[in-house]
Amino acid sequence: MGDPNQAFDPTAPPNPPSWTPTKPPPPPSSSSRPRPSSPSSTSSPLSPGHLLLCPRRHAPKLTDVDGREAAELGRYLRLLSRALVRTTGVNDWNVVQNNGAAAAQVVNHVHYHLIPRPEIRASGKLRESFTMFGRGVRSELDDDEGAALAAKLREAIREVLEEENSKSKL
């Protein structure tokens, strides 16, 4: 990965996806009912905690998911947002979803980015801003930091799901 302090170069090629058709993503975890959606961290985060959410069934664009999948993705976006805020302590975040190359979609599979946006102006960096979409300054986590953040996020997701399940029981 490049230097995170280096200025954004719009002519630079985008980072390649972390998987290809010859190296598919890992298989879904086993359960009694396959889950239609899967959260994961990204290999090129825009900030610590940057997550991806995608359906397990291949669908190139949002228009290619069915109504059940769309509803499930929406449900998980809300739950993952709560877990992300709880894990990172960052109360502002973007949810980004691109459809097609002209819209900056690099990986040909529908996916949502959940990107924590810490307040950088409060730290005195008044001229800095985040790249909203596409390429830009990226954060780097070492393996230990990434593993610790993933463990905290898994625990927060478990807590959020337990809270949701307890609310639905009258």
> Considering Cα of 113, then 41, then 14, then 106, what sign does the dihedral take?
negative
- CB neighbours of 100 closer than 8 A, spacing ≥ 6? 61
105 in helix, strand or coil?
coil
Residue 52's beta-bridge partner residues? 40, 113
d(CA 166, CA 126): 43
Edge-first strand listing for the sheet containing 93-96: 37-41, 51-55, 112-116, 93-96
Helix (H) or strand (E) holding 154: helix 143-167
101 phi and psi angles, rounded to 5 deg: -60, -40
Q: Which amino acid is at 5?
A: N
- Report whether 122 contacts 77 (CB < 8 A): no
Give the active site residues.
Answer: 111
